[in-house]
Amino acid sequence: MLALSWLRRACGPALSRLLPPAPRMWPTGAGEPRPKRACGGAERMAASRRTIGTHNGTFHCDEALAVFLLKQLPEYKDAEVVRTRDPQRLTECDIVVDVGGEYDSKRHRYDHHQRSFSDSMSSLNPGKRWVTKLSSAGLVYLHYGHRILVHLLGLKEEDPQISVLYDKLYENFVEEIDAIDNGISQWEGEPRYAMTTNLSARVGHLNPRWNDKSQDTEAGFQKAMDLVGTEFLDRLDFYHKSWMPARHLVEEAIQNRFQVDPSGEVVVFAQGGCPWKEHLFSLEKELEVEKPIKFVLYTDQNGQWRVQCVPAGLNTFQNRLSLLEEWRGVRDEELSKLNGIPGCIFVHASGFIGGNKTRGGALEMARRTLQAAPQSTSNGK
């Protein structure tokens, strides 16, 4: 190497053109080119990995649920959760919830703390009835809830079950979290007792105690996500596999009510044990049932038939029409002799339910009561 260098200097450019090029000498640590590395799957994933931003420090149920819901979507399944209040770091996140002071769905910013924010499900989605101010959980559910349910249930987006379940989960799961995070009480005045075991309270208890030596909240936030996620999925599973089948059964019974009795005021359930009251009231409105249904018929665990009065409302013991007063508290053969209907088993002392050995007998008990009642029979008597 030294000899070649000496010949180059001694003989000048002419000889230099005949000799092999000298190797390039790089100072240690200078800009020496590094060999190219093949970009494997891990590197590509890290480069394209999405980020979900939320605040650090004390965590709450709403952002724990918001982040969990986002991670149910394919595009955020493997997203990194960045917990910070640093505006620059939040700017770099693909989506931000519960921090940042702005709500802009086009830019995927979902905070609700700014003074300018007062939106509810009804204000952002006209036609929905809920007026509770949204938290970050409600905002994420509003914008992504339908897609999340489609993905989790494996149903098509146009499946009517999706809209029904979407509303049910907001009303009976998400709205509570929205209200608690925004400090909205269920009632006026002082409560009669404390409620400290709701989901929001249990998430709050996962934060470090004020006198714990470690105030790190990262592990606790992960536990909070697991907690709210488990409860959300359990509730969805119940509504999908139990509540929805009951709704279908009640809807079918309402649609077929005129085949049971010309009045349309008696329905028969194809299967006993079905929780029907909530569904019947909501479906009467949805299906625009003109004449309120008075009686439901179904089988009990022994295969015998029950005739039950429809209550005047979900939270009342009054009935739209009770079974005849003279039957109440009478049983078996004595009851059949009294009303002339074979197979009678009983009528409850309050008149809200009765029993018969056959479907026909139970139906006749309902018909006799309807015939004896005035035309206006929604008076709760």
* Contact predicate 320/378, CB 8 Å: yes
Evaluate if residue 19 carries a pLDDT over 60.
no
| Residue 158 DSSP code | T
CA-CA distances (angstroms) from residue 121 to 41, 65, 125, 239?
41, 17, 6, 21
**pLDDT in the model for residue 37:** 42
CA-CA distances (angstroms) from residue 11 to 14, 16, 341?
7, 8, 130
DSSP-derived pairing of the beta strands 80-83 and 51-54:
parallel
Residue with the two structure tokens 């929805």: 244
| Residue 133 DSSP code | B
Residue with the two structure tokens 């028969």: 268
* Contact predicate 102/53, CB 8 Å: no
Which residues are CB-neighbours of 4 under 8 A, at least 6 positions away?
A: 19, 20, 22
Q: Name the token pair of 128.
A: 């929905």
Quick: pLDDT tens for 214-252.
Answer: 999 999 999 999 999 999 999 999 999 999 999 999 999
Quick: pLDDT tens for 187-214.
Answer: 999 888 999 999 999 999 999 999 999 9
Which residues are CB-neighbours of 260 under 8 A, at least 6 positions away?
A: 266, 267, 268, 297, 363
pLDDT above 70 as % of the chain? 86
Q: Name the token pair of 60.
A: 């709450």
**pLDDT in the model for residue 371:** 97
Q: How confident is the model at residue 26 (pLDDT cuts 50, 70, 90)?
A: very low
What mean pLDDT comes out for the span 307-331?
Answer: 97
**pLDDT in the model for residue 380:** 44
pLDDT above 90 as % of the chain? 82
**pLDDT in the model for residue 260:** 98
d(CA 353, CA 78) in angstroms, rounded, equals 54
d(CA 100, CA 361) in angstroms, rounded, equals 66
Evaluate if residue 17 carries a pLDDT over 60.
no
What mean pLDDT comes out for the span 377-381?
Answer: 44
Quick: pLDDT tens for 123-133.
Answer: 999 999 999 99
d(CA 360, CA 311) in angstroms, rounded, equals 22
What mean pLDDT comes out for the span 162-175?
Answer: 98
Q: How confident is the model at residue 48 (pLDDT cuts 50, 70, 90)?
A: confident
Evaluate if residue 3 carries a pLDDT over 90.
no
d(CA 4, CA 26) in angstroms, rounded, equals 19
Quick: pLDDT tens for 99-156.
Answer: 999 999 999 999 999 999 999 999 999 999 999 999 999 999 999 999 999 999 999 9
Quick: pLDDT tens for 171-186.
Answer: 999 999 999 999 999 9
Which residue ranges make up each domain of the chain?
A: 47-183+199-209+216-238, 256-372
What mean pLDDT comes out for the span 17-21?
Answer: 46
Specify the range with the lowest mean pLDDT, choosing from 7-21, 49-63, 246-260, 327-341.
7-21
110: nearest Cα among 154, 50, 65, 149: 65
* Contact predicate 52/71, CB 8 Å: yes
Q: How confident is the model at residue 375 (pLDDT cuts 50, 70, 90)?
A: low
Evaluate if residue 9 carries a pLDDT over 90.
no
Specify the range with the lowest mean pLDDT, choosing from 6-15, 68-77, 119-128, 237-246.
6-15
